[in-house]
Amino acid sequence: MQGRSLFLVRVAWVVVAGTALAIVVFSVPSSYEYYSSVCTAASRVCSERAVGQVTPEGVQALRDVGLSVRSYAISNIVFDKVFQLVWFAVGALIFWRRSDDGVALLTSLFLVTFGTVAVDPTAADSLVSSHAAWWLPVRVLEMLGTVFVALFFLLFPSGRFVPRWTRWLAIANFANLLPDILFPDLYSLSPFLEVGSQWVFMGFVVSLVWSQVYRYRMISTPEQRLQTRWVVFGTTLAIAGTFPFRVPVDFHLVDGDTPFVLLLLEAGFTLSFLLVPFSIGMAMVRSRLFDVDVLINRTLVYAILSATLAVVYFGGIILMQRVFTGLTDQEKLPQFAIVASTLAIAALFDPLRRRIQSFIDRRFYRKKYDASKMLEGFSAKLRNETDLDALSDDLVAVVRETMQPTHVSLWLQPRAGSGRGMKEWAG
């Protein structure tokens, strides 16, 4: 974009971003009032309608760990504002660096609106409850966040709907979520409406994933594939990381009776979900700063390694506990058994890591794995080969198979009186 259209779009971005930042700032007093209030209703009601508020039992639980309701409220506000401001800052950075690019502007608006209002609407809702005049700006930003997040994953990274019919997915998703934003109690009137809305949303998510896979395999350029890997890598880690922190809250396994646990879960959710804006910012601003394949490879290896060692460790302790109890009728496991299990884990770490690394390379990075093995074989052969012509042929073959160039040329400096020169092979 350029000229007048670029100027108008930038002005619109400033208006939207300024409104989002104002909501973040002005919601601090209402958020403090919300988190510092004590919910005196039934425990089930508090966990469903007053998420994050402490109960009378929760006040005592806070005192037992040396905290007050005031410190609990301040801690929640700090987590909320850090979360919102990081999303806003990444969006502002993308706008500052690449405001003339349509996809970058869409990404920036998605981060600014979705991250500050739509992800966790508690602060915005508390602001609306305290000051009704904020209802319209908050609801508009929620709608924009809903639209932009759908458009981002449908258009990223090329800026085109692929396939073309996916544009109707954005319209269907917006039509499905708009009533819930404007009329939060609408779906509660009928269970059929709520179930239908959930099925529409699941269909949208499945179609969205399929369209991204199709775009990645059929349309994207190498640079666009790198950007896609950054976003997929960060989003997957964020969702997987936030899952254990959100499930206890969403299924009401913890409530205001245990506010300290709620605080820890909020901290874990905040840190995990911040991977989304960080990965998107890396993809948009500095997509070639690091080799994302290396990060994905190491993440897969050490995640599987950690899970395997944890299963082996705790499984070994449980097994030894049962064997020891059966032999001695004593339930307490001796200290040396735990030490032995720890030493076994230490001994297993390196060989198990190598085996997992080899499996990951063979399964997900087959071309690089084959190239590495070919280079290792050539290095071993190089120490024993004495025929220069055979060695030249082997070298060209290795280069052709590992690097796959369009043409290979090998030049050998001729000795005086020899007929050696340049050899060429088509790759």
Measured in whole angstroms, the distance separating CA 310 from the mean position of its chain's CA atoms is 23
Assess whether 233 and 85 both reside in one domain. Answer: yes
- Supply φ then ψ for residue 114, to 5 degrees: -70, -40
* Nearest alpha carbon to residue 48 among 255, 263, 245: 255
Does residue 168 sit within a domain?
A: no
Does residue 203 sit within a domain?
A: no
Assess whether 360 and 372 both reside in one domain. Answer: no
Domain residues for the domain of 412 are: 368-426
How many separate domains does the chain show?
3
Q: Are 176 and 196 in contact (CB under 8 A)?
A: no
Assess whether 67 and 103 both reside in one domain. Answer: yes
Residue whose token pair is 């929620």: 142
Measured in whole angstroms, the distance separating CA 208 from the mean position of its chain's CA atoms is 16
Six-digit token string for 350:
């390196």
Q: What are 407's strand-pairing partners? A: 426
Does residue 275 sit within a domain?
A: yes
Q: Walk along the chain (427 residues) and give the pLDDT tens digit of each residue.
A: 677 888 898 999 999 999 999 999 999 999 999 999 888 877 677 777 778 888 888 888 888 888 888 999 999 999 899 899 999 999 998 898 888 888 889 999 999 999 888 777 788 888 988 888 999 899 889 888 888 988 998 888 888 888 888 888 888 878 877 777 777 666 666 667 777 777 877 888 888 888 888 888 888 887 788 888 888 888 888 888 888 888 887 777 777 788 888 888 888 888 888 888 888 888 887 655 455 555 556 666 666 767 777 777 667 766 776 676 666 666 555 566 666 667 777 777 777 777 777 776 666 555 554 555 655 665 666 666 555 666 666 666 666 655 556 566 666 666 555 544 444 444 4
Picking from 364, 396, 413, the residue at the C-terminal end of a domain is: 364
Assess whether 226 and 322 both reside in one domain. Answer: no
Q: Are 410 and 397 in contact (CB under 8 A)?
A: no
Does residue 173 sit within a domain?
A: no
Assess whether 15 and 76 both reside in one domain. Answer: yes
Assess whether 375 and 359 both reside in one domain. Answer: no
DSSP 98-166: HTTSHHHHHHHHHHHHIIIIIS-THHHHHHHHH-GGGHHHHHHHHHHHHHHHHHHHHHTTTTS-SSGGG
Contacts for 355-360 with beta carbons within 8 Å, 24 or more apart? 356/301, 356/304, 356/305, 356/308, 357/301, 360/297, 360/300, 360/301, 360/304
Does residue 108 sit within a domain?
A: yes
d(CA 330, CA 102): 70
